[in-house]
Structure 1
């Protein structure tokens, strides 16, 4: 209709910005080479961001890149969820229909939340993973589309972006690592005040090396002169350039408006003095009907569809076309990208026109927009209808109409996983609640809790929405969106007004939310709140709330107090969930029950339950249960000593988590798999699994778990600096306000081992004693038994240290006391018990070859080569220090040495080599596995050969191991104290340790100076 009208930017000359355009062009080159690029372009309104992007896109098109542009929509309080991504994906679909359809294959239901025309969305899940899953699938979609061609994706006006758009943008900037993609975001820098919601995102992205920034400044006087020459098609006089440069201050858009004002005013002395007048002067020269249309468009939003505009304007088609032609011809309005609509050429003009409206005029226009859209919902896109209708009715100051519209928009936002926008809308609904009559509130239908938030406390059979329902919905929206402080505040407010005697189910539901939130916020472990919820439902008829409370009691117990009481709670939760027909709650409870059943020793029964839950969850497509089963099943198999099965279960879980876009759960599964690889002696694969897990981690706990697994590897490999670094990271990530045994016990073991390796035996003991004071209840044996073994081994290694002798009997007694209380119902637990008993005997100097033979027999069938190699080393040592079979000792050492070398277990390798050296046993073998020479005649590696210590240094080292100071060493060896100090310094350097304590610990651990 308006195709003949000139709609280009006013100035045909692209002025300045050559450096910025060159930077953008360079990013295009890097993206074309397969390295994704991300850029943010900031500058004040009117400074030329859009023009720069237009010039760059022209370059990109000439280089055959596919261009997709989406703009944020200013509507309501927080914008339209995902609007720029939806617009950009539509552009990609028009440009690459076949490629996009292939990339979307199998995920249309989830990605329809971004692009509704893909079809019906999947079921809105009641879990924390919905948004993360959508973001992950979006990232993969872009990677697939950009795998074979260069794509430029531009998101404009991020200062108007809704929270969900900002979060998705940040996710993509952090995670996209492959593909020929350039992502560009533009924003108004002058709008980003201290509390603007975009400000934290900009600060976060500044820390990412992968995100570039371009800041656009104003034009110089010379650039303004060139711009004016392009606009006026003549060289402007110096006086005019000075006047416009002074009034525009170099702002490109203001220069254009001032230049155009010359045409209107005809005299530069009459140029408007204020910014508002400048922006309105050309509007006021339009015909009256065109001015009216411009005012209508200004209040309709960033873009107004032609049918909607016609309905609101109520003009004959010819008159409307004539009014629009004048506005477009004056370059005030432009046809919008897409099939049929209009927008302002610059948002500053729209804002000025909108601000110029009278209050009553603004209210009437919004009412007419709302009435038109209500009468014909097809006037706008289906995915925008609810949000725009809510915004129009709210701006029309009609609470009775606004409240239902706002609630409908909130439901739509939830369906799209735009929980932040849902929360803002629900808060607006709570604001409107008291402004509407009881009659209006009675017509409001309850939310569909049965599908989204099971057990929300909504009374069965309710036909109208209550204020408590609204608060419940807002609590969940705030929690899932990550605004847990706000969620806790809403839950607390609800609990202040709910009558617990009249409405115990609803009260219990809010106490349950409060329990989750205080745990998430590290305020406490949530037990008090959970106990209150349980007390409120006790004795009531079975309900979804009751089942949900019991399921949470069981899962809390499994994490904090595993044992028979938690298993009973899980049984009851399953029973109640079945009674009320809530299968998702039942599956969660069954998963907990299976885990606890394994901890109780009934491994086959527990595993059967967990496999059954996993398979059923996959049938129902219940992502929350599927991802939890993926994590817990691999972990429970490893706990039961079935490491090979755990690896296979983890492979299944990794595929499931990856396909459904739950990266944090995938990180947990990979970290659990890394532990199983470690147990199986596949350490390189363990490290690779951790490398894959680290970038997927989204929570502090998963980061802490990865760090814990890395600590295992570093300690075993002898990289104590790395072990210390990872242990410190784990402590920063793991929350001491929520002391879960699975997170708290193993780091104590790591701290003990690291302290002992550094010669700080007292520190290792203190860590053990502090942890053991808290106890090791049933269900913690998988973490407690390795810790008890480590404590016993530390005491055995320190047996010759004089400083370690005091207190040793009490420590050994404490270890034995705890060991007797832990169940040994599973072979791997029993094996650790036997091994710990052998180390306790070694610590007392009473170990015999039989101790180590029993330990080897216990670990032999368990596929744990590292533990078996350590046992064989101790067994050989025991055979060599007492009358025994020397050839058997040699065979044990060789087997242990081969394993230690293959694993890269440096400390164990050194210990074996030193023992072999003292015993004059060769570790090298011929092709058939036999010694290369007679053991009696071949000298092995001794301490001098291994560490390069001279005879005098060995004497000094022996005295250091006995606790002598430099002065006492000097007296004993008849040397000067300074000479003794020099010897000690050389010894520390050769041993690769940093303190006398570490040197002493090494001597005693390796029995370098043992007699007999």
Structure 2
């Protein structure tokens, strides 16, 4: 029977799937043209996903594409992070060795976490940025390799993928932008129960326009017939086709099994249960081959030959005979590297494994573990620790399993596979009570944890340190959960730990867990974390310096820096730096110094603060601390921008974007792009600013940075007169920032935008209400960067609304409030002194008593700054003041100021400013760009109105009195009255109200509102 099966198990004819193959071929063509492609192929077990990928990749190779195959293994639930990517990258290295070496140059130690062949793994920083950096480097590696070669990366069996693999795949699908690259991934759809971890990923990828999903259906009756014909090498009996189609229901793998069984004359004993169907071929093998098949099934998706020989415990010749029988029966296949064996189909492996008795399964796992313990070279080095942990765990030997699981968790951490680390740590906590005390006492924290500062220094002379404690595992699990995004699990662990730790006996450990709770509460959008942080501060108060103490103080400094900046926050940063230095916590020290520098700038010590931040950046680069360097590349330019040293900030930001992108610091890159957008907007490079903000919205996942970018886009839209777009961007920014953790750097810019949009629509009461809410508690110290623009926007809105009847009530109180707030707001840099002068001038304008001297001082102040739009605005104000009070020389100066303002407005596309300049020039009969007055074809001229009468009628239609008309047109009230009389006569009406009605009815002034 085996002789018949030997050559006819798999149909040599590829049946059906023409449409799906066409989709894949089309995607390959687009990828070859330089447009990266991503496809997901789903279908039930046995429907033909692997065969489709095999046929497609064979065709791709014929076109010259490099193909890299990787598969998730069934042991994925027990660890083995990134296995499909490691396998695929190894294949890519074999296919394109020079291209991959060039692409990985300089980052080999980081990429070794995925491809150990590149060398030793870097020590790395264990935080969210470490994972992001690895993911970004992987994406850029693939883009570089695919720059000159068409590359197909095929990843199979995502339903077995570990969490780290899922996260990396999602990252690639979201961020791949360039290169001749096609990524194909398959998954078993019928395995995706309601809570399967792949489901959320598929839902996320469905929302990406760059990802296409294919679902493979079962074969039709005709296709089943062609498949059977290929297997049997002859035309099958129609009745046989009918029977097999009915029983297989078109599942390609079941068709194979049934056709082979029928061809071998197997007519009895074949039940309708899937399990029995799959075991038929196994049971037909010699007993030795069946035994080897059971050993392979329990070993994982693939088992190396030497490991199999050690576990089987039979002679080499007997093992070879048994394996030959299984391979000839198409039950087992050799692995691609030719060093081991795997089942031809995962369904068969699962059926064989399920058929094992519990004791038999446990014994096999023990034998695997013992063999691997005796000779670690039996499996690849990058899989050894994880597989040993899995074997001992399933052998139900807690004494052996706990150390192995802890070793595996440490390796997962070193590879930034924090999801697997968390699961392994939870498994270690499960094993803890079942492990003998003597075994636990031999374990040391440094061997199995990341040495987070959660323990007292060892008071004993024993250099090995104190034994590992259960709380050490909880501490490690808390951090792993935070880093892998399982923040809810991490928060639960931290809360449980705080019930177990005695704060009086172990205040440092308690403080550390409170600090983690603070970070997790903030990350979960459940509050600002201040209570938890304050509790940690109280616990370390008065204790000797330690890493925990320094860490708590450093986080307190960062908390104050972004929520309550100013002089009161300085002591926390200074103490954090001092304590970090005393205990040698270098990274904590640099982080604290960076916060200290920002707080010094905010408190008025600008030069000292900027120097401190610049030194931290230089040290972080020199000492290779990329996380701190990435943060410095954001904070230092942001501080430079705040004090109008924008031209220094822009090149730093551009350098920072390249640095953060190169090191995979995705969130820091997002912030750098958002801050760059602000700086470019200040410099009047609005189109570039809009592009930088759009890039920030596409980069990373930091919602706060996205909110910052949305504010910049709203600002540009508002200054260009697009109120609808400004309102939409404002709403998006509010969504990004949320309401759970208000920060001045978010709330003040949002309030300014809302106020200006309300003012532009003439909603004076709404604008005032926004101001009242924003200043309910005054402006916190150190918030002048956002406070001055808000105060100025409010004063400008009051001045613009001075002539409106609705603006009268409460104006005096609003202006008094603005003056009082300004007196307490710092003017520590020229830009904020200029804003102070501008605010005073706007307040005078709101009261109708501004003078050319007021505005001349403001213009002089802004001429020293790099803010062209602001300078153009104040030049327009000075021109208006000169025209209202001056003579011929003042008119000439005003005309020049208006020409300068108009040139800037036209260059920036600042329509509101351009319109304001044109209106002022027309009213004052001042030539701007060689024109004065309205253009030809003005509908008002149909009534015989002169240009001046048209200006007067526009104001009459807006409800102005003769005195107000005189003020706005720089004429006397008597002259205004004469113009009104002439207008009434020409329109044939008897009063001002009728004149206004005619103007509106005839559409003379459609802009009047």
Compute the TM-score of the two structures, normalised by the length of structure 1: 0.93
Matched, 1:670 2:673: yes
Alignment of 1:452-601 (within 5 A): 452=450, 454-457=452-455, 459-460=457-458, 462-601=465-604
Pairwise CA distance, 1:709: 0.9
Structure 2 CA distance, aligned partners of 1:799 and 1:147? Answer: 61
Does the 8 Å CA contact 1:85/1:114 hold for their aligned counterparts?
Answer: yes
Q: CA RMSD in A?
A: 2.4
Alignment of 1:568-967 (within 5 A): 568-884=571-887, 885-924=890-929, 939-941=932-934, 958=955, 961-962=958-959
Pairwise CA distance, 1:960: 5.9
Matched, 1:57 2:54: no
Structure 2 CA distance, aligned partners of 1:447 and 1:801? Answer: 73
Matched, 1:990 2:995: no
Change (3 A) 1:843 1:453: farther
Structure 2 CA distance, aligned partners of 1:738 and 1:708? Answer: 17
Which SS does the other structure have where 1:545 is aligned? helix
Alignment of 1:380-391 (within 5 A): 380-391=379-390
Does the 8 Å CA contact 2:957/2:995 hold for their aligned counterparts?
Answer: no
Pairwise CA distance, 1:693: 2.0
Specify the alignment match of 2:88 in structure 1.
Answer: 88
Pairwise CA distance, 1:391: 0.7
Structure 1 CA distance, aligned partners of 2:1005 and 2:466? Answer: 79
Structure 1 CA distance, aligned partners of 2:295 and 2:127? Answer: 42
Matched, 1:344 2:343: yes
Deviations, residues 4-50 of structure 1 (Å, cap 9, x unaligned): x9789611111111111111111111111111111111110001111
Structure 2 CA distance, aligned partners of 1:604 and 1:947? Answer: 59
Specify the alignment match of 1:967 in structure 2.
Answer: none
Structure 2 CA distance, aligned partners of 1:827 and 1:531? Answer: 36
Specify the alignment match of 2:121 in structure 1.
Answer: 121
Deviations, residues 878-903 of structure 1 (Å, cap 9, x unaligned): 01111342111111111111222222
Pairwise CA distance, 1:407: 0.6
Specify the alignment match of 2:154 in structure 1.
Answer: 154
Pairwise CA distance, 1:982: 9.1
Alignment of 1:190-209 (within 5 A): 190-209=190-209
Specify the alignment match of 1:1009 in structure 2.
Answer: none
Pairwise CA distance, 1:863: 1.5
Does the 8 Å CA contact 1:478/1:487 hold for their aligned counterparts?
Answer: yes
Question: Where do 5+ consecutive residues of structure 2 fail to align?
Answer: 460-464, 962-983
Which SS does the other structure have where 1:773 is aligned? coil
Pairwise CA distance, 1:648: 2.1
Question: Where do 5+ consecutive residues of structure 1 fail to align?
Answer: 925-931, 933-937, 965-969, 992-998, 1001-1012
Does the 8 Å CA contact 2:999/2:1005 hold for their aligned counterparts?
Answer: no
Change (3 A) 1:477 1:949: farther
Pairwise CA distance, 1:864: 1.4
Which SS does the other structure have where 1:75 is aligned? helix
Specify the alignment match of 2:334 in structure 1.
Answer: 335
Which SS does the other structure have where 1:455 is aligned? coil
Pairwise CA distance, 1:860: 1.6
Larger deviation: 352-361 or 72-81?
Answer: 72-81
Which SS does the other structure have where 1:702 is aligned? helix
Which SS does the other structure have where 1:268 is aligned? coil
Does the 8 Å CA contact 1:563/1:600 hold for their aligned counterparts?
Answer: yes
Deviations, residues 595-632 of structure 1 (Å, cap 9, x unaligned): 11111221111111101100111122112211111110
Pairwise CA distance, 1:839: 0.3
Deviations, residues 449-508 of structure 1 (Å, cap 9, x unaligned): 99x565334545643211111001000000011111111111111111111100000000
Does the 8 Å CA contact 2:76/2:161 hold for their aligned counterparts?
Answer: no
Specify the alignment match of 2:400 in structure 1.
Answer: 401
Change (3 A) 1:272 1:787: same
Does the 8 Å CA contact 2:674/2:706 hold for their aligned counterparts?
Answer: no
Alignment of 1:206-355 (within 5 A): 206-264=206-264, 266-268=265-267, 270-355=269-354
Structure 2 CA distance, aligned partners of 1:378 and 1:979? Answer: 98
Does the 8 Å CA contact 1:78/1:160 hold for their aligned counterparts?
Answer: no
Change (3 A) 1:948 1:32: farther
Structure 2 CA distance, aligned partners of 1:532 and 1:943? Answer: 73
Deviations, residues 632-689 of structure 1 (Å, cap 9, x unaligned): 0010001111111111221221121111111221121121122111112222222232
Pairwise CA distance, 1:558: 1.1
Does the 8 Å CA contact 2:70/2:84 hold for their aligned counterparts?
Answer: yes
Change (3 A) 1:543 1:973: farther
Pairwise CA distance, 1:697: 3.3
Change (3 A) 1:236 1:813: same
Pairwise CA distance, 1:247: 1.1
Change (3 A) 1:564 1:976: closer
Which SS does the other structure have where 2:502 is aligned? coil
Structure 1 CA distance, aligned partners of 2:411 and 2:756? Answer: 54
Does the 8 Å CA contact 2:305/2:339 hold for their aligned counterparts?
Answer: yes
Does the 8 Å CA contact 1:778/1:822 hold for their aligned counterparts?
Answer: yes
Pairwise CA distance, 1:268: 3.4
Which SS does the other structure have where 1:45 is aligned? coil
Matched, 1:374 2:378: no
Which SS does the other structure have where 1:80 is aligned? coil
Larger deviation: 938-947 or 699-708?
Answer: 938-947
Which SS does the other structure have where 1:718 is aligned? coil
Specify the alignment match of 1:163 in structure 2.
Answer: 163
Structure 1 CA distance, aligned partners of 2:911 and 2:58? Answer: 59
Pairwise CA distance, 1:272: 3.3
Structure 1 CA distance, aligned partners of 2:136 and 2:939? Answer: 52
Deviations, residues 401-421 of structure 1 (Å, cap 9, x unaligned): 111111111000010010011
Structure 2 CA distance, aligned partners of 1:308 and 1:332? Answer: 19
Number of equivalent positions: 971
Change (3 A) 1:454 1:960: farther
Does the 8 Å CA contact 1:551/1:573 hold for their aligned counterparts?
Answer: yes
Deviations, residues 830-874 of structure 1 (Å, cap 9, x unaligned): 111010000000000010001101111222211211111111100
Does the 8 Å CA contact 2:956/2:992 hold for their aligned counterparts?
Answer: no
Specify the alignment match of 2:968 in structure 1.
Answer: none
Structure 2 CA distance, aligned partners of 1:145 and 1:559? Answer: 41
Structure 1 CA distance, aligned partners of 2:628 and 2:196? Answer: 37
Does the 8 Å CA contact 1:449/1:456 hold for their aligned counterparts?
Answer: no
Change (3 A) 1:983 1:185: farther
Change (3 A) 1:949 1:796: farther
Which SS does the other structure have where 2:75 is aligned? coil
Structure 2 CA distance, aligned partners of 1:86 and 1:599? Answer: 47
Compute the TM-score of the two structures, normalised by the length of structure 2: 0.93
